[in-house]
Structure 1
Amino acid sequence: MKSFIYDHSKEMLEMLKKLVNTDSGSYDKEGVDKVGQLLMEHFNNLGFIADVHENEKLGNNIVLRHQDARRPKFLIVAHMDTVFPKGTVDERPFSMEDGFAYGPGVIDMKASHVMLYYAMKALMEENVPAYKDVEIIFNSDEEIGTIGSRKLIEEKAKDKEYVLVLEPARPSGSFVSSRRGVGQYQLEIRGKSAHSGMNPEDGISAIEEMAHKIIELKTLEDPENGLNINIGLIEGGTSVNTVAPIAKAGIDVRISTQEQAAEIDEKIQKVCNESTVTGAELTLTGGINRPPMEFASSVGELVDIVLKEAESLGIEIDHIASGGGSDASFTAAMGIPTIDGMGPVGGKQHTEREYLVIDTLMERTTLFINVVRRLHKMYVNE
């Protein structure tokens, strides 16, 4: 398997170049669908059949399974969208320098698409039937909260033994065995404008009310138990000499356990439904949109498989907890053993210097093949 992958390294980089040089920001339906079409063409050549779930505004979601598959035991999830708007490729297309590859989405997560395709191709070349036991989802909206594909992921995961999510490995090389949950809220406050010098008593300051709310929300934090609240965006007012008639805030919440989700949501709702400044009107939207991916004994068994296969290949690797969310959170919350960060190594995602460590594209493809083959032997009766 290892020799096959390294023999095809140039082809892998060519495929990666094509993917990276196709803009596919979350709201760029045309671009995301172009990436999906390219992936479908490749996988169709291997005998995989695509089930396209069409989306009117965002990119289509794609489910793939081999034509000889019957009841796949393992689900693999990889998103096609990036955070970069249309036109980014024209400004900084795919490039390689000193062992690194650069470009929009190169590590998050187009290198993983290449890894997955060549892993399936290698299994078929070696007549290892593990490729029949996987179902693949390429979804289009992970970067904006998996707003349209969550139900699809959960539907396809419910009868699976394990789920492997192909977010990139951490810059240290570690994969991810647990993640914090994520909540995002938007608070809008309506007041009443008035001249700050002539008749301030007639005004209702939305900014003053927002100041109270920020302080109240921060008191809900419990950092020692992994519960954090960040008010990361604020806007409001119309001019410096006007009592502010409106204020808005974006609120980010991070949780570590499922129990915290309902509790913190209730507390935030309570804070944001009661005004301190008389007459201020508050509107809260949003909520907890990604449950935490908690570590469990069944996850530990899957982690051990990855560590043992890495050791057999001479790869130094570890697993970590991550503060960010991903699609792994949804399947983990269903009680299905899930690991994440199974892609190649890179970093600086969502920035102009996003990079892939090129050698790890081949290295982690080989590791991924061995993990899928091991799972096939353990859980599928020939």
Structure 2
Amino acid sequence: MDVHSQEKEMLILLEKLVNIDSGSSHKAGVDQVAQELIPLFEQLGFHVTTISQETVGDHLRIIHPTQRQASILIVAHMDTVFEPGTANERPFTIKGTRAYGPGVIDMKASLVSVIYALRYLKENGSDAYQHVELVLNSDEEIGSSTSRQLIEEAAKGKAYALVMEPARRDGSVVTERRGNGRFTIEVHGKAAHSGIEPEKGRSAIEELAHKIVKLHELNDHEHGISVNVGIIEGGNAVNTVSATAIGHIDVRVATEEQAEEMEHKIETMCASSDVSGTEIELTGDISRPPMVKNEKIARLFQVVKKVGAELGIELKDTKTGGGSDASFTAAMGIPTIDGLGPVGGNAHSEKEYLDIPSLTERTLLLAKVIEKLVEDRKTKRS
């Protein structure tokens, strides 16, 4: 099998997946994506276990029956950030050498790439595909709260983790990510008419404003700490002292130590009020640990880089502030490479695109990386 000759077939499958709305909150759509994928893995001889979920799409755990313990874990997600109806408004299209559509690069092209990489190995007589276990989850875009345990369970005992987020625009793979978390501050005050008896009120909005200023003072971009209050809610009338106010906070950190420090600082900040008579309720945490490029990850990248060079691909690695499930496996001490999907850009926007030539190129890269890692382990054991 020649991967490059499969491009047209791969694009047909990609079009089918992109034209299914599968936003994280749209369970029926994510499950429909799963139903398209399951037979394709079964045709390759894999056993697929569906892990049912109530509010988000079902997760898939996929393993070849010949392996008690596969050595490689591949992680990919089936959900997108787009609302139902988006695929109908702007369905899959091809313009020149780019394909467009909701989730085309993040990460439906990667789902296609995984299937054809495994198919390439099988049809070309390599048993390396049997040494792979896969987790396809349905809630990555909203923090992987229902799938983190599944990913970590599947990762136990694995020698390597390959995560299929898209490559960066310049083709770089990812070896380092900041950790991230979400917090919510809910402030309860006392309502009063702002013209007749304002002194009887206790403004929840005023209290939240104090906290927003203090939260943004925690920013230390030079050392990788970012704090952003991105959404605020509060009040019900302009002439009423607000009884409630809510702030939603995004936090990014570069190290585990920073994660602990930021959680402590935010908790301490919210333990007392600046506006007398208001009360604060804080929820949330740092849900994704940082992915730190250590010696194990550096060595794995060198393997990937060498395989790429053999295919005529000059690979670079990079770090990014965005979150990914790679953080979970990396935090467990498992050598992890992320960004192994095809190349594209503008993810999460109306201009999201896939560079079509990279679809087959990165599929072959993935197949050859799997083959190389399995061969190296066999050599070490012999």
Which TM-score band (shorter chain)? over 0.9
CA distance in 2, matches of 1:265, 1:278: 24
Partner of 2:17 in structure 1? 19
Any idea what the Cα deviations from partners look like across 1:289-343, whole Å, max 9, x if unmatched? 1100011000000110111111111112211001000000011111111110000
1:201 to 185, 199, 202: 199
Instruction: Give the counterpart of 1:159 among 143, 157, 165.
Output: 157
Deviation at 1:7, TM superposition (A): 1.3
Deviations 1:210-256 (A, max 9, x none): 11111222222322211111111112122222212111111111000
1:168 shift after superposition? 0.3
Residue identity in the other structure for 1:12 = M
Alignment of 1:348-363 (within 5 A): 348-363=346-361
Q: Is the 8 A contact 1:70 1:132 kept in 2?
A: no
Alignment of 1:115-154 (within 5 A): 115-154=113-152
Residues 6-155 of structure 1 aligned to structure 2 (within 5 Å): 6-155=4-153
How far apart, CA to CA, are the structure 2 residues paired with 1:270 and 1:261? 14
Q: CA RMSD in A?
A: 1.1
2:269 pairs with 268, 271, 274, which one? 271
**Secondary structure in 1 matching 2:192:** coil
Q: Count the aligned residue pairs.
A: 380
Partner of 1:304: 302
Task: Give, as a single letter, the amino acid of the residue that structure 2 aligns with 1:222.
Answer: D
Equivalent position of 1:368 in the other structure: 366
**2:134 partner letter:** I
**2: distance between equivalents of 1:379 and 1:373?**
10
CA distance in 2 between partners of 1:43 and 1:277 (Å) = 58
Q: In structure 1, how many angstroms separate the alpha carbons of the residues matched to 2:157 and 2:371?
A: 19
Distance in structure 1 (CA, Å) of the matches to 2:226 and 2:4: 44
> In the aligned structure 1, how far is the partner of 2:103 from the partner of 2:278?
43
Aligned twin of 1:377: 375
**Residue-by-residue CA offset, 1:122-177 (whole Å, 9 max, x unaligned):** 10111111111110111111011101010000001011001000000011111100
Which of 343, 354, 357 is 1:345 aligned to?
Answer: 343
Q: Indicate the SS of the match to 2:293.
A: coil
Query: Is the 1:291–1:329 Cα contact (8 Å) retained in structure 2?
Result: yes
Give the AA of the match of 1:75.
L
Match of 1:222 among 209, 215, 220: 220
What is the deviation of 1:259?
1.1
Amino acid at match of 2:117: A
Q: Tell me the residue number matched to 1:189.
A: 187
Q: Distance in 2 between matches of 1:207 and 1:40?
A: 49
Q: Which amino acid counterpart does residue 82 of structure 1 have in structure 2? A: T
- For residues 319-374 of structure 1, the C-alpha deviation after alignment (integer angstroms, 9 at most, x for no partner) is 10010000000111111111100000011111111100000001111111111111
Q: Is the 8 A contact 1:61 1:137 kept in 2?
A: yes
2:313 paired residue number: 315
Helix, strand or coil: the match of 1:8? Answer: helix
Larger CA deviation: 228-237 vs 341-350: 228-237
Shift of 1:73: 0.3
> Equivalent residue of 1:217, what SS?
helix
TM-score between both structures, scaled by the size of structure 1: 0.97
Aligned-partner SS, 2:23:
coil
The residue correspondences of 1:211-290 to structure 2 (distance < 5 A) are: 211-290=209-288
What one-letter code is carried by the residue in structure 1 that aligns with 2:340?
A: M
Instruction: Give the C-alpha shift of residue 67 in structure 1.
Output: 2.7
Take 1:52 and 1:234, find their aligned partners in 2: how far apart are those partners? 37
Structure 2 unaligned spans of 5+: none
Aligned equivalents of 1:358, 1:177: Cα separation in 2: 24
Letter in 2 for 1:59: G
Question: What secondary structure is seen at the aligned counterpart in 2 of 1:77?
Answer: strand
CA drift at 1:49: 0.8
Q: 1:183 offset after TM fit, Å?
A: 1.1
Per-residue deviation, 1:96: 0.5
Q: Secondary structure at the match of 2:193?
A: coil
- Secondary structure of 2:12's partner? helix
